[in-house]
Structure formats: C-alpha cells, structure tokens
C-alpha cells in the first residue's frame, strides 16, 4: 500500500552558510529507528523538516518493516535532501530499536547526536535551542529538556526534568534521559557504550544511567512549553503495562547494576541501594496490576537488604505505599538515600 506524503512545509528562519566549513562543523545528527510506521511516520518527519535549525543530518534506519515504511524513507531522502539537510537511510535486520539506533550511529560523523522515535513530534525550535545551548556552554556534554506525553485518549501530562545536582539519582528514579529528551556529545556516548541490544525494555533508562556514570556535565534547556510531544499508544515504543513484559524490566535493572559495579565510583553502595528501590517500584507496579510477580520480587529485594536497616525500612515502607497507589514515594526515597553510607 502506498501512502500520500505531505511534508511541504519549509523550515522556519533557516540560517544560511557564510563559511561552509564552519557551518558543516555545526551539523547535528538525528537518529530515528523505523518499524512498520508508514501510517505515522509522516507526522514525525514533517516535524523534522520544520526544524528552524540547519545543518542537520537525519539518519533513518528501517528495522525490517513489512509495510511501506522503507519506500517512504527513500522518497523522503529523494525529495528533502539538500546541502544543509542530509538524509541517510539504512537497514538493520536484527530486531529491536536499540540495534537500529546503534546502526544509525555508524552513519554519524558529527560531534553531537540525538535520538527520536518514529511516532513522536518535535517543536520547530527544538534543535535550534540545543544548538544555542551548545554555543553558550561548550564544556557541557549533555543537554536535556522537558517533554509532553499524550495518551491515545488525548490526555496529556508534562514530564518535568530536574535542573539541579544529583542527576544520577534523579535518573534512577525518574528517568529524565529518555530517548527523545536529550542531545549528547558523540564521544561521551561512545565512552559510555552504545545502546544495549540485550535490554528489551527501559533501554533508554539503562543507557541514561551509563551516560551519567561517565559525565556529570549536564544542563537543562529550559522552555515555556515542552519541546517534544510523545504519543503513547498501543504499539508505541513507549509501551503499556508492566506485566506485559514481566522479567524484561528486571533485565534492565540488572544491566544497570552491572554498569554501576564496573564503574567503581565512591558512591557505589548508594547507587546499588537506589537500584534495589527501583526494583521495589517495579514490584509495586506488578502488584497493583494483580501480578504475583510483584510479591516475589519484593521478597527477593528484602532478602538482599538484610543487614541494611535503612534500605530494608525504605523498601518495606515504599512497597506498602506503592501497593496502595500512593504517589511520590520515589522522590522521598531519592532524598533518604542521601543518608546511605558508601
């Protein structure tokens, strides 16, 4: 089936190159994995075309689509590529968005890279705001933003990101470095390690934690309104209930724990305790969904917490509150873990 494409909107107030070599160094890469998104992809690509910033390198990786996605990507490249708007189209046969994003990284030859999903939208000023932040803070490694999430029913919620210290703990509990929420220096990403293809859920959370294990030079790009709109629906990468992927979420926490142990930081014990509470948050989610896996995971955490009275007390209290749908326990835990000894 062929879909009619309408991405005729021209970019807003695009800068024109005065010095081509300098302009080329300012290029920013955007990696977008695609899997059977022919009916939704136009919305995302139109938001990319409308970016007020140039130069851009848009990298589109098809992940084995069986619909018209690949032909749509090729048409996009043919119709939209210009000197200031490079388009690369590639394929990744190994299933999973993480593998597709890693394939996209093979195309990156710019200093800065960002990731995006094929069913979401960016405001026209998003990349320009990142570029302006990079110019004003050249030693920063990661810039991040607030995002808005819209459900299939049309309700929206804004995910606010922290703007102060304690980034790595905020990332553990609140995952503010999710896929669409940041731009990162490519060298820092390579140092942290690319996307982990063995992590099938919370893979952006796991990568975000590894990024924060190698750098604390982060800065928030503040805006009056969120610069990204994430569409959460039945087949979105963002996902649905926890029980649908029972056991997969735990793999992400296990991978994060391994990364923390390998990093050998002074606050390793505090980070490991925080990850145990992350498991308690997952246990509470399972239990609230009527899944017996929640109680089992809770018992496993409490067994490991023996001898650590503060961790035991926090996990016991947290699980009790989570099972009663009490909100805000993660923020309480984030503050209390400051008292855990290393």
Q: What is the pLDDT of residues 83-97, one digit of tens each?
A: 899 999 999 999 999
**Mean pLDDT throughout 211-235?**
91
Is there a contact between 190 and 225 (Cβ–Cβ < 8 Å)?
Answer: no
Nearest to 333 by CA among 175, 173, 177: 173
Query: Is residue 4 very low, low, confident or very high in pLDDT (cuts 50, 70, 90)?
Result: very low
pTM value > 0.95? no
Q: Is the peptide bond before 55 cis (omega within 30 degrees of 0)?
A: yes
Q: What are 282's two structure tokens?
A: 């997952």
Residue 160, number of CB atoms within 10 A of its CB: 12
Where helices occur in 120-241 by DSSP H, the ranges are: 126-136, 167-174, 186-192, 203-214
Residues facing 143 on adjacent strands: 183, 219
Nearest to 205 by CA among 273, 251, 247: 251
Distance, in Å, from the CA atom of 205 to the CA atom of 178, rounded to the nearest integer, reads 6
pLDDT, tens digit, 9 for 90 and up, residues 258-297: 999 999 999 999 999 999 999 999 999 999 999 999 999 9
Distance, in Å, from the CA atom of 82 to the CA atom of 333, rounded to the nearest integer, reads 50
Is there a contact between 105 and 194 (Cβ–Cβ < 8 Å)?
Answer: yes
How, if at all, do strands 156-159 and 147-150 pair?
antiparallel
- 132 CB-contact burial (10 Å; exposed 0-12 / middle 13-18 / buried 19+): middle
Residues facing 262 on adjacent strands: none
Residue 2's pLDDT is 43
Residue 13's pLDDT is 46
């Amino acid at each position: 089936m062929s879909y009619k494409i309408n991405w005729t909107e021209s970019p807003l107030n695009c800068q024109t190159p005065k010095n081509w070599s300098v302009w080329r160094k300012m290029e920013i890469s955007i990696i977008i994995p695609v899997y059977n998104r022919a009916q939704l992809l136009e919305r995302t690509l139109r938001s990319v075309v409308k970016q007020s910033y140039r130069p851009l390198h848009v990298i589109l990786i098809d992940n084995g689509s069986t619909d018209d996605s690949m032909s749509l990507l090729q048409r996009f490249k043919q119709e939209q590529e210009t000197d200031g708007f490079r388009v690369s189209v590639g394929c990744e046969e190994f299933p999973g968005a993480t593998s597709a994003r890693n394939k996209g990284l093979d195309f990156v030859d710019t200093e800065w890279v960002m990731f995006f999903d094929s069913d979401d939208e960016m405001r026209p000023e998003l990349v320009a705001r990142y570029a302006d932040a990079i110019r004003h803070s050249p030693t920063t490694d990661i810039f991040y933003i607030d995002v808005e999430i819209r459900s299939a029913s049309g309700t929206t919620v804004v995910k606010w990101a922290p703007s102060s210290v304690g980034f790595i703990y905020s990332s553990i509990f609140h995952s503010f470095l999710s896929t669409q929420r940041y731009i990162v220096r490519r060298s820092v990403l390579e140092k942290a390690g690319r996307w982990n293809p063995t992590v099938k859920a919370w893979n952006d959370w796991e990568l975000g934690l590894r990024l924060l294990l190698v750098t604390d030079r982060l800065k928030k790009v503040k805006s009056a309104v969120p610069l990204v709109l994430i569409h959460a629906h039945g087949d979105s990468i963002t996902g649905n209930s926890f029980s649908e992927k029972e056991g997969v979420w735990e793999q992400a926490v296990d991978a994060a724990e391994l990364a923390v142990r390998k990093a050998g930081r002074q606050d390793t014990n505090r980070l490991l305790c925080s990850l145990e509470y992350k498991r308690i948050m997952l246990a509470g989610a399972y239990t609230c969904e009527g899944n017996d896996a929640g109680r089992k995971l809770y018992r496993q955490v409490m067994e490991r917490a023996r001898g650590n009275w503060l961790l035991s007390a926090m996990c016991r209290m947290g699980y009790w509150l989570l099972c009663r749908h009490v909100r805000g326990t993660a923020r309480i835990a984030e503050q209390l873990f400051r008292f855990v000894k290393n």
